[in-house]
A and B are shown apart, each in its own frame.
Chain A
């Protein structure tokens, strides 16, 4: 940049002269600014930065999974965002939905918001559904009715509560049965002892002395076995009491396992489908791989062509002024010996 030294020739800006390189730099800077502005324009369009919106409200039981900036969808397409959450009367959360003005026609008076918290942990899908497209358009600032699904956490807690109550009732019934069973076994024991000692009508009327003696022996041993059995039952009872918490745990595990295995056939079917799809995909990939060497050659040829085009572009003004092409020198020039 040069300024001529002529005095009194007006504002200094009129005396500045730019050389070709400075003009070229200016051109590049200006192009960069234009490109930046264009990209900003495109980005603002895709992100609805400056698009006006219409506000609606909904009232939910809990704000779990809903946050400021979350998308509001209609048939899977984003039509707005959640802009505000505040506490409302009746222990509810009032949520403001900003719908893009261009999508306003979609929100009819029979619209309903579905807050689906089962899609993923921590995030809810806020979707607007409309029954009829003939219904009038919902006025601004209206409150749209909501249908909420419980969160995954709530579901798990509910299931756990059910399992817990079931286990307690079963074991209390077993505990009630145990004393009665013990009484019954005691009664049988008394009867057998009476027979063994020859007392009672059965012992005296039916058997003679010899048979009585033999029978006594048999019954005595039976009584011994029974008393031993009683001990075993006592021990078993004690063990059962001790096992109660373990069984309770097993019960829970079994229930969990049942819950898990319920979906197993479906999962297996899906897995089979996935494997079949993967197989097909692999076959296709395999076929494509056969073409790879050809593709590589084509790519190389294309790149060579592109290189030539770029070299050609570099050879013309204004790039030729700036980019210095390396000199072609296929032979090392004659050299003296340095050492």
Chain B
């Protein structure tokens, strides 16, 4: 054993004793301790939520999967549901619709078996998001109809909660996709957002983008561009990277439609950098296809051909990778509770 001889004045020892005593007393004054596994699972979920907010889908998925395993080990159905809901949000954000669908089926089964009503509305909201992403608009409408609040014209009859607000946002998106009552739903969304006491840049930025779309339909390019710049500022202030990427793409599209090739190229390129950071390959490919068109319009034929070749290679590689890995992934589905 190593003996350390350190000379400490008596007064320093007394001070240290007082500090440690204070710390121990403070520790004792804390709330009652809970099982370590439950605390670990909650900690993993908390960290996962932070990773999700930083658009780190991979880490978020890892953390939520670990917490799911812990909850499954305890047969804690409430915890399992929480982890699954988080995993679905991650899968939707990352564009992994297959995984999202699989998790949604599991969640529905658990919810029905346990009779848990608490998360039913949230699950319906997730179903609606998945349906919109998969362009299944009728199905999405079905899920949203049970979530939407009643309106008196454009004014909601009661103050909507966050799930209802999200449902209104999704409904507005659906209206734009179906080209039916887009203006009405944008106004309803704007009104609902004013009623809800929520400090969320995500909802505000989305409203500005919807308003920009309406202005574009009226060929008010200048005003639409202003709205999009406002949306970009809101997203940047709240550090919502998917929103930033989407707005930059919207700006690129706006200038593309106006024939301002240089501006369009500038915004699509910026959007691609953000998309590359958050790992949204499908969106990168869409933007790059537009970049190829812009380059040819600018007279850069060689560069345009180069981009097209790169796109073709990417698509081929993606197809090959999917063929190679999909059977493996399907065989190793360790997240299912059954």
Contacts and interface: CB of A to CB of B under 8 A. Distances in A.
B155 interface: no
B80 to A, nearest CB: 12
A332 B28 contact: no
Given A313-B22, A313-B23, A334 B125 contact: yes
Interface of B is mostly: helix
B42 A309 contact: no
A45 to B, nearest CB: 5
Interface residues of A, number: 28
Contacts of B12: 38
Contact of A328 (B46, B90, B283): B46
Contact of A332 (B86, B163, B170, B283): B86
Contacts of A333: 162, 200
Interface string B1-39: 000001111001000000000111011111001001000
Nearest to B161: A334
Nearest to A46: B7
Contacts, number: 99
Contacts of B281: none
A330 B49 CA distance: 7
Contact of A338 (B7, B29, B242): B242
Categorize the interface residue count of chain B: 35 or more
Given A337-B132, A339-B242, A330 B89 contact: no
Nearest to B119: A331
B85 A331 contact: yes
B166 interface: yes
Given A42-B8, A336-B206, A309 B27 contact: yes
B52 A332 contact: yes
A312 B242 contact: no
B49 to A, nearest CB: 5
A312 B26 contact: yes
B86 A338 contact: no
Contact of A330 (B26, B42, B162, B202): B42
B332 to A, nearest CB: 25
A308 interface: yes
Contacts of A339: 242, 245-246, 249, 280, 283
Contacts of B26: 309, 312-313, 315-316
Contact of B28 (A41, A45, A312): A312
A328 B93 CA distance: 22
Contacts of A45: 7
Contact of A308 (B7, B27, B133, B246): B27
A329 interface: yes
A159 B203 CA distance: 92
Interface of A: 38, 41-42, 45-46, 304-305, 308-313, 315-316, 326, 328-339
5 contacts: A312-B28, A332-B85, A336-B206, A338-B246, A339-B242
Given A42-B8, A336-B202, 6 more contacts: A41-B9, A308-B27, A326-B46, A331-B82, A337-B169, A339-B280
Interface of B: 6-9, 12, 22-24, 26-30, 33, 36, 42, 45-46, 49-50, 52, 82, 85-86, 89-90, 93, 122, 125, 129, 132-133, 162-163, 165-166, 169-170, 173, 200, 202-203, 206, 240, 242-243, 245-246, 249, 280, 283
